[in-house]
Structure 1
Amino acid sequence: MPALPLSPADLRAVLAPLPSARPLPARAYWDEDVFAFDQAEIFGRSWVCVGREDEIARPGAWVLAPLTPAGVLVLRGADLEIRAFHNVCRHRAATLVDGACGRLAQLACPYHGWTYELSGALRAAPHAPPGFDRGAHGLLPARAGALFGFLFVALDPGAPPLESALGGAPPWLARPELRSLRRGRRVEYEVAANWKLCVENFQESHHFPRVHPALERLTPCDDAVSWGGGGPWLGGIMALAPSAETVSLGAARGARPLIVPEAERRRVRDAMLFPGLLTSLQPDYLLTYRLTPRAPDRTLVVADTYFHPAAFTPGFDPADVFAFWDTVNREDRSICERQQRGMRAPGYAPSTYAAVEDGVHAFDRWVAERYLAALGAGAP
């Protein structure tokens, strides 16, 4: 991999205490070599969220995670174990499945018919030569697991075990009852901006008054408090405005059941799992955003909304929630794309963090530490 074209001095400036720190250098958001590093050394060495466990509840159910050009197939085996495999036939590298999800009794290559069991073992290899060892040519595995109802994949065989790697999670996401939530909608879209800008935007709320006036009325940014429990997690807690029951067009929960304890119904709890899972726990629904870097200036976002299972009765219509967040997501996409365009301006250099951007600073520190380690420079 080419050397990172970043200055150790610029990166060390990110690690300074917040009042004197400078944000990441602009080149970190548009350079091809930096992007390649982010893919290989940040996403490629982390446990990455690829969905929810209920998406593969039945044997043979699978989802295709866009972590590589071919994708990674995450499935439920006949023994109910969760497994992940590179979506590549061992014969001549044809991809095995298309689409985002499905259910199969076995995996068959559409090119020459090599067939694999749900365990990844090669079952049939038409016209293979005598003595060919099918046992040595099963699907190429990746590591997979589930935690807090989320599915995770690690491409790095040396990554720490899932539970230890994701230690320090916010207590509100660890509640067992959240595992039973049902998805009400999925939306996929692309942001013409670097993935780090998308995370940084999530990590602060003082843009609400100018970018999200409707959201500011329901969750005023002056009431935001940062949270950090350790490990790869950052978060924040915001109070609902006195007139609001939830965050939606009408600010009313209606008949939707709470998914949080009664004592916590007046709070919104956000959490980011490094590098690319963003979550927002509302009183009556959960938002998740999964980020996949596609280019230095392009990020795929998969946005899901989950509700209490009891909400799904005849006449259930959460259009007030969906419409509200469609607007907010468009506003976020637009402001991140403005930043991306500005990063290439001749002479632009970052100046400082605002005093309320401690969450952005914390995220940037994690990124800068990885860049410095790759440069062999380390922290001061």
Structure 2
Amino acid sequence: MPELPLTPADLDAVLAPLPSARPLPARAYWDEDVFAFEQAEIFGRSWLCVGREDEIARPGEWLLAPLTPAGVVVLRGADLEIRAFHNVCRHRAATLLDGPCGRLAHLECPYHGWTYELSGALRAAPHAPPGFDRGAHGLLPARAGALFGFLFVTLDPGAPPLESAIGEAPPWLSRPGLRSLRRGRRVEYEVAANWKLCVENFQESHHFPRVHPALERLTPCDDAVSWGRGGPWLGGVMDLAPGADTVSTSAAPGARPLIVPEAERRRVRDAMLFPGLLTSLQPDYLLTYRLAPRAPDRTLVIADTYFHPAAFTKGFDPGDVFTFWDAVNREDRAICERQQRGIRAPGYTPSTYAMVEDGVHAFDCIVARRYLSALRARTA
């Protein structure tokens, strides 16, 4: 297990009640050993969202999830089961697939032609020695599953089952109707900041007036209310401002059908699933952000926007949504990168949480508990 250069005292300070709590130490956001620890003990042991079920709806459809340097292939088998495999040939370790997604009848290594069934079983191994046991050399599996329309993978064979690990999700995400949403766009970008800064930024809205004035006009931060029940989910609810019917440059959904009940059409509901799935349910679309840490100061963000399937008719143009969130995401990226540059200043130590940062504190407490659990396991 990688060393964690933090002490129980550092972490107990985070777990104090909000008025007296102290944020995570600065080195938690830039130290290589902390990052290695998180990769092994947090991202390596959690169920991680890798996309939506509709991306692999048909047999043979696959996507490549950036969970390891080689990636993990998630596919729909001929029997309609969802499976995941490390994107590595069992012969000489060449990666099997490139690109984000596709459809195939089998997997074939581009190096020497070893071929695998959609089940992961080795079908052909050219020039293998006599008596070679193909049955013992299938693709290396990872555990996969689906919940609420989301696809999940864990790299930990000993992780709890998906449903028990995910726990009680926010009720607005577990509605059956959301499973049928269709993706309108995907954008990928890197943030030159630690992944925890990206989540903390998502967990509070009192930066809106200074960083996102356009967003503040549509969803005033004073109306934000946090949600959480002690599990891996944290959320918040905000009301739309008078005169706004959705969050976009037009502030109107136009012909886009609602994806929430009529009684909830004037609310925005955000939720984070620890460690790296961020969601925002708007009246007429769903935003998701998946975080893939690349280095202590570098995070890949995969941002998707989903709409009601009935929205996809001739002339469908959600440009008012895309333009608005492109601007907001740029603003968030810039402010997180500003934090990352400052957090390594000699002598800097975090001071306190603002009293409206209960969502940030709740997230940091999850992180601190994971750190402490591993520290105690090491010394037991």
Q: TM-score range by the shorter chain?
A: over 0.9
Q: Which residue of 1 aligns with 2:127?
A: 127
Local SS of the residue matching 1:268 = strand
Matched, 1:71 2:71: yes
**Is residue 8–residue 377 contact of structure 1 (8 Å, CA) maintained in 2?**
no
Local SS of the residue matching 2:44 = helix
The structure 1 segments of at least 4 consecutive aligned residues displaced by more than 6 Å after TM superposition are none
User: Unaligned regions of 5+ residues in structure 1, if any?
Assistant: none
Normalising by the residue count of structure 2, what TM-score does the alignment of the two structures yield? 0.98
Distance 1:10 1:89 in 2: 43
Q: Which residue of 1 aligns with 2:327?
A: 327
Q: Which residue of 2 aligns with 1:204?
A: 204
Give deviations 1:127-165, integer Å, cap 9, x for gaps: 111111000000000000000000000000111111111
Residue type of the alignment partner of 2:330: R
Matched, 1:252 2:261: no
Local SS of the residue matching 2:263 = helix
**Is residue 58–residue 76 contact of structure 1 (8 Å, CA) maintained in 2?**
yes
Distance 1:26 1:246 in 2: 37
Local SS of the residue matching 2:340 = helix
Q: Which residue of 1 aligns with 2:58?
A: 58
Distance 2:336 2:292 in 1: 15
| Change in 2 beyond 3 A, CA 1:95/1:377 | closer
**Is residue 280–residue 288 contact of structure 1 (8 Å, CA) maintained in 2?**
yes
Local SS of the residue matching 2:349 = coil
Distance 2:77 2:5 in 1: 44
Distance 2:162 2:189 in 1: 28
**Is residue 234–residue 271 contact of structure 2 (8 Å, CA) maintained in 1?**
yes
Task: Report how far residue 6 of structure 1 moved.
Answer: 1.2
Give deviations 1:49-86, integer Å, cap 9, x for gaps: 00000000011100000100110000000000000000
Normalising by the residue count of structure 1, what TM-score does the alignment of the two structures yield? 0.98
Q: Which residue of 2 aligns with 1:182?
A: 182
Local SS of the residue matching 2:355 = coil
Q: Which residue of 2 aligns with 1:237?
A: 237
Task: Report how far residue 250 of structure 1 moved.
Answer: 1.4
Distance 1:287 1:298 in 2: 22
Residue type of the alignment partner of 1:167: G
Give deviations 1:296-328, integer Å, cap 9, x for gaps: 000000000000011111111010000000000
Distance 1:230 1:57 in 2: 33
Residue type of the alignment partner of 2:211: V
Q: Which residue of 2 aligns with 1:158?
A: 158
Q: Which residue of 2 aligns with 1:107?
A: 107
Local SS of the residue matching 2:373 = helix
Local SS of the residue matching 1:376 = helix
Q: Which residue of 2 aligns with 1:286?
A: 286
Local SS of the residue matching 2:303 = strand
Distance 2:57 2:252 in 1: 32
**Is residue 169–residue 230 contact of structure 1 (8 Å, CA) maintained in 2?**
no
Local SS of the residue matching 2:174 = coil
**Is residue 268–residue 283 contact of structure 2 (8 Å, CA) maintained in 1?**
yes
**Is residue 3–residue 37 contact of structure 2 (8 Å, CA) maintained in 1?**
no
Q: Which residue of 1 aligns with 2:138?
A: 138
Task: Report how far residue 377 of structure 1 moved.
Answer: 8.4
Q: What's the C-alpha RMSD, in Å, of the aligned pairs?
A: 1.0
Q: Which residue of 1 aligns with 2:44?
A: 44
**Is residue 200–residue 360 contact of structure 1 (8 Å, CA) maintained in 2?**
yes
Q: How does 1:269-348 map to 2 (within 5 A)?
A: 269-348=269-348
Distance 1:316 1:302 in 2: 23
**Is residue 20–residue 352 contact of structure 2 (8 Å, CA) maintained in 1?**
yes
Give deviations 1:173-223, integer Å, cap 9, x for gaps: 000000000111000000000000000000000000000000000000000
Q: Which residue of 2 aligns with 1:191?
A: 191
Distance 1:110 1:77 in 2: 21
